[in-house]
Amino acid sequence: MITTKQRATLRGHANKLEVILHIGKSGVTPTVIVQAKDALVAREMIKGKVQDNAMLSAQEVANELAESTGAEIVQVIGSKFVLYKKNPKNPVYEI
């Protein structure tokens, strides 16, 4: 569980991130979960976007991915969301 202060620090880093995960009308599929897990191991923090034709909201997608990957939700704004999961072997962000 990350604290409010840690979340604020991560939000600052998230501003510079590019969207690497796109969720379409198929929603959160097993393939999307695998992509998110792999990206979290490599980057620790990922930004995703829910497309207009998706049936789920960004909050719903973020909740589902966070639960499936063991990540923390940093923020959800509009159709974008940011997830964080610390890599114990090779940390990228010091919070």
pLDDT at 91 (0 to 100): 81
pLDDT at residue 59, rounded to an integer: 97
- Domains of the chain and any CATH numbers: 4-84 (3.30.110.60)
How many other β-carbons are positioned within 10 Å of the β-carbon of residue 52? 8
Bridge partners, residue 81, by sequence: 48, 76
Confidence tier at 13 by pLDDT (50, 70, 90): very high
CA distance 57 to 16: 23
**The pLDDT of residue 67:** 97
pLDDT at 72: 96
Q: Please report, for residues 43, 85, 88, the alpha-carbon distance to residue 78 in angstroms, rounded to integers and kept in the order given.
A: 23, 22, 31
Whether residue 90 is predicted with pLDDT greater than 90 in this model: the reply is no
pTM for the full predicted model: 0.93
Closest CA to 80 of 59, 56, 54, 65: 59
| pLDDT tens for each residue of 27-75 | 999 999 999 999 999 999 999 999 999 999 999 999 999 999 999 999 9
| Whole-number Å distance between alpha carbons of 9 and 78 | 20
Measure the CA–CA gap between 95 and 86, rounded to whole angstroms. Answer: 10
